[in-house]
Amino acid sequence: MFSGAQIALYPMSDDFVGIITGALTALDPHRERLRIETDDVTTLIVGPPPILFAAMRDLFVAAAGTGTHCVLSATVSRGCPGEPDDPICRPDPDAVPAGPLDARIEAALAAVDKAPETGQAAVGQFSLYPLGEGGHMDEIYGCIDFVKASAVFDRSKNFCTRLSGDAGAVFAALGEAFTRFGAPSGHVAMDVTVSANSPSRRA
């Protein structure tokens, strides 16, 4: 199964190039498990979902650690029928959706609970798109049930769900939402925005 993400990091600073290039070293521990291609709009990272979310977390935390208002935006996808299979994308067999929703929700909650703490506060938003299957709203509602029961749930918004907390738990919740819901070998996409250090008053 092909899985990967188109990601971008937006530091709201005159020194955005320096902040981005400085944060890129945070990807080093993951490079062996990823294929990475950059252009002037987004960077493609291809690899198994747990590595994708860990890499995005580490990149985001490195950039946000500068204190600058930073946003990471990503389009994450698995099982797209238009993409070739890639041997780099072997998912963790424990992380493939299987079994009843209740059990998957419990496993996802446990994974968020044991997420490593990063010390970086973050606000995240995501929309999950399980494609080409009947009952896609059941999987979306199951995913929302998980997120609402998790420690990082903030609130529901139109078209997306908002999370807040330590970046470690926020990215863990995003990764669980992506891997535990939708058909096991089906086409699932997720739209992700994570923000830190915003000067705006929290709504």
- Residues present in the chain in total: 203
Residue 83 or residue 106: which is nearer to its own copies going by CB?
83
Amino acid at 171: F
- Mask 141-180, x = binds its own copies (CB under 8 A)? x---------------xxxx-x------------------
Q: Strand, helix or coil at 92?
A: coil
Joined tokens for residue 85: 């299979």
Residue 46 or residue 62: which is nearer to its own copies going by CB?
46
Beta bridge partners, 192, equal: 74, 126
Residue 107 or residue 195: which is nearer to its own copies going by CB?
195
Cβ neighbours for 64, distance < 8 A, ≥ 6 positions apart = 70, 120, 122, 167, 196, 197
Q: Which of residues 22-41 bind its own copies (CB under 8 A)?
A: 38-41
**C-beta of 144: minimal distance to its own copies in Å?**
9
Q: How far is CA 107 from CA 9, 110, 111, 143, 151, in A?
A: 30, 5, 6, 12, 14
Sequential DSSP letters for 42-88? -EEEES-HHHHHHHHHHHHHHHHTTSS-EEEEEEEEE--TTS---GG
Among 88, 127, 145, 184, binds its own copies (CB under 8 A): 127
- Mask 65-94, x = binds its own copies (CB under 8 A)? ----x-x-x-x-x--xxxx-----------
Q: Which residues contribute to the site for its own copies (CB under 8 A)?
A: 4-6, 8, 10-14, 16-17, 38-42, 44, 46, 69, 71, 73, 75, 77, 80-83, 123, 125, 127, 129-132, 134, 136-137, 140-141, 157-160, 162, 189, 191, 193, 195, 198-203
